[in-house]
Amino acid sequence: MKTTKWHSMRLKSLSLIAAPLLMVSVSATQAGADNSALADSKPLVIQIESVVMGTDGQMRVRVNGQYLTRHSERDGIRVLDMNFDQVQVQAQGQVFWMKPHHTLTLEDLTPR
């Protein structure tokens, strides 16, 4: 079959239509994979165990089994401030004041 000017223009216009559709279908597939990853994600647990004073004079708080100092971060949990009675932590863009020996569970409650 011989390609005429009209056929050439028609093929170009089809490719311009098909390319965005291909990108949309790939993006939709990736979005589906991201949503399934969110559905499988576990809730974030913040367990404040104890606040201690180190031999160097710096306070440390035991969060989920790890000792953290002020302004340190581990597993998405950042310690902002502390004293022996309470600890200020930041997680998932929210700030919480927690007492030692307390546990907080953050779940993703966005509708799917």
Q: What is the pLDDT of residue 40?
A: 59
Do residues 97 and 86 touch, judged by C-beta distance below 8 A?
Answer: yes
Q: What is the pLDDT of residue 24?
A: 42
Mean pLDDT by 10 residues, the chain (112 residues): 60 50 43 52 92 96 97 96 97 96 88 68
Segment 6-28, tens digit of pLDDT: 566 655 555 544 444 444 444 44
The model carries a pTM of 0.61
Strand pairing category for 44-53 and 102-106: antiparallel
Residues 47 and 12: their CA atoms lie apart, in Å, by 60
Do residues 69 and 58 touch, judged by C-beta distance below 8 A?
Answer: yes
Q: Give me the residues paired with residue 96 across strands.
A: 89
Q: Is 85 helix (H, G, I), strand (E, B) or coil?
A: coil
